[in-house]
Amino acid sequence: MNARTQTQRDPVCGMTVSDGAHTTVYHGVTFHFCSAQCLAHFLEAPALFAGAVRGEDIRAMPKRRLLRIATGAALDETCRRLQAMMGVSAIRAEADRLHIDYDLRRVSLSQIEAEIQAAGIVLKGGLHALRRSL
């Protein structure tokens, strides 16, 4: 295997990857990922992950978000789905809010929001949506 064109370490989470189930090519370099979630996160901002980084230098980027719920009642299911995502470390649900702690290095807010929407929850828009996008 040519070391200049391939890597066997997931550039997002640092895990060793033994198969090529999730791969992409960026600037002529083939990157391998442990999961579809890591691949999707890489594709959102490849320049963030494409540089040469030693596995032991990958540090967590903790983030905490408060997401306000507009509609939806499946909070238990939503919490289960989010907890199963790689990088989500804590979730606390209230009547109309979700408090989420996650590692920005492993999962993005857009991936979290997509999982919430897939569970049938609609997040508030307006100013709250604008703050989430910043």
- Residue 52 is predicted with a pLDDT of 67
Query: Do the Cβ atoms of 97 and 66 come closer than 8 Å?
Result: yes
Across the chain, which has 134 residues, the per-10-residue mean pLDDT values are: 59 84 90 92 88 69 91 85 94 91 90 92 78 65
At the topology level, CATH places domain 62-133 in: Alpha-Beta Plaits (3.30.70)
- Residue 94 is predicted with a pLDDT of 87
Identify the three-state secondary structure at position 91: strand
Q: What angle do CA 102, 127, 96 make, to 5 degrees?
A: 60
- Residue 50 is predicted with a pLDDT of 81
- Residue 23 is predicted with a pLDDT of 92
Query: Do the Cβ atoms of 8 and 16 come closer than 8 Å?
Result: yes
Going by the DSSP 8-state scheme, the letter that residue 9 receives in this structure is B
pTM score, two decimals?
0.71
Element (H, E) at 127: helix 126-133
In the chain, domain spans: 1-58, 62-133
- Residue 55 is predicted with a pLDDT of 60
